[in-house]
Structure 1
Amino acid sequence: MNSARGGVAGRIPETDEGLQGDDIALKYDEMQRHIRDQGWLQEKVDDVLRADITCGSVLEVGCGPGYLGLEWIKQATGAVRLTGVDISPAMLRRARVNADEYGVAERCAYECGDVLDLPYEDGRFEHAFSASSLHEWSDPVRALSEIHRILRPGGRYCVMDLRRDIDRTTFQFMKANIAADMRPGFRSSIRSSYVRSEVEAVLREAALTTAAVTEVQMGIVIAGRKEA
């Protein structure tokens, strides 16, 4: 968000330990469920679909309680096998419950892992996507290179996150729709998120050198295809 002087405040890194513990996972689940129920998650689903991720063996990085991937499955056009990976066991427990509630548990697997060292062999997945996690990664170059590594040649990726320079009206709208006890974490996430020029600098060092970077109202989208 813009600073009082009109410029963009400097980035303040956030923890890379994720949201740990059953209590915080439940609160985050409730927040994400509210976002889904209001229809605000559809923008991210649309971003994934626009990246031509519509079917196949897909990895969701930083899946949290799983709502994005589960909503995506509902709109996927072909056979789907979704694997969600997250650093928080508590989030994964919520995701498994939610997959069962959606009636798609047989098409989902949720596994504990760190984006800096994904527990998958090279070329394991056809596609990958991630939302709201980039700002938490302590080494974004390595994380994005890991996502590239686990993709098959020709695989598509879509990485979405907040951006630090969102306008004040958007910031206030987002904050107003978050429970009061979650708002400090939201502000921390905004302060630790990237602006477009910073993302482009990261991409020049990572393997995703051909990615397209797009600003949207509530964040930023990195999308592309792993070259053969």
Structure 2
Amino acid sequence: MKRKIRIPETYDGIQSPVTVSEIDIMQREMRDKNRLPTEKIIKSGMNYGLGLEIGPGPGYLGLEWLVKTKKTHLYGLEISPAMINTALKNSLDYNLSGRVSYYEGNALFMPFSSRSFDFVFSNGSLHEWEEPVRVFLEIHRVLKDGGRFFISDLKRNISSVLFFAMKLTVNPKSLAYGFESSVNAAYTKEEITEILGETKLLEDFSVSENPFGICITGRKKN
């Protein structure tokens, strides 16, 4: 696919109760089909202590992470109150409400003290970050020395064949347009590498890609 100009999607999160419900259905299906990057997060060394998830949405990724780790706790930072309500309900269904707390807020101004978290992870929200350089600087601030981060998302330069194949499998079908707008708002590996370079603080990182997305891993130096 010819490289396209990035088209921002939204900086205010998903606010519509109907859309939130549809995304809950979609994310639940992704969980059931093992399409969430839970194992990748754990294998990257995030299997202990206190973590922060940016943009948890309905919460399934973080909740699955809690299920598969021990003596861990999680904070979720979400800009949408409707999403927080759904995530809280899901945490009760998982019987994990005692290990997870959700906070309404913007990742540009995280409401947490410096050096609070052992790690930070996010899946599928990077393309919605209004100023990614500032968010990565906030990630650096709230991480403890030696803390790790894992950020994954779609990429904009996905092949045409794969793009249309993925769009056809979106469920509920009403979210197909949202999938397209998310791809159009996503970054390429080269773009995100340049963005990380601008932070000057996050030096220990790597950016990898697969046919449909990118993955950023790294750690805050001591």
Alignment of 1:142-181 (within 5 A): 142-178=134-170, 179-181=172-174
Alignment of 1:85-96 (within 5 A): 85-96=77-88
1:198 aligns to what SS in structure 2? Answer: helix
Instruction: Give the C-alpha shift of residue 166 in structure 1.
Output: 1.7
Q: Distance in 1 between matches of 2:211 and 2:45?
A: 21
Name stretches of at least 5 consecutive residues in structure 1 with no aligned partner.
none
CA RMSD of aligned residues (A): 1.2
Instruction: Give the C-alpha shift of residue 28 in structure 1.
Output: 0.7
Number of positions where the alignment pairs a residue of Structure 1 with one of Structure 2: 220
1:143-176 CA distance string (max 9 Å, x none): 1111111000010100111101122333233212
Instruction: Give the C-alpha shift of residue 209 in structure 1.
Output: 2.6
For residue 56 of structure 1, what is the aligned residue in structure 2? 49
2:112 aligns to what SS in structure 1? Answer: coil
Q: Distance in 1 between matches of 2:24 and 2:204?
A: 34
Q: Distance in 2 between matches of 1:84 and 1:70?
A: 10
State the identity as a percent: 39
Q: Distance in 1 between matches of 2:43 and 2:158?
A: 22
Which residue identity lines up with residue 185 of structure 1 in the other structure?
G
2:119 aligns to what SS in structure 1? Answer: strand
Name stretches of at least 5 consecutive residues in structure 2 with no aligned partner.
none
Which residue identity lines up with residue 220 of structure 1 in the other structure?
I
Q: Distance in 2 between matches of 1:25 and 1:17?
A: 13
For residue 15 of structure 1, what is the aligned residue in structure 2? 10
Q: TM-score by structure 1 length?
A: 0.93
Q: TM-score by structure 2 length?
A: 0.95
Q: Distance in 1 between matches of 2:83 and 2:191?
A: 29
For residue 178 of structure 2, what is the aligned residue in structure 1? 185
1:170-218 CA distance string (max 9 Å, x none): 3233212222211111100100100011001100112323211010233
2:61 equivalent to 1:68? yes
Which residue identity lines up with residue 204 of structure 1 in the other structure?
G
For residue 220 of structure 2, what is the aligned residue in structure 1? 226
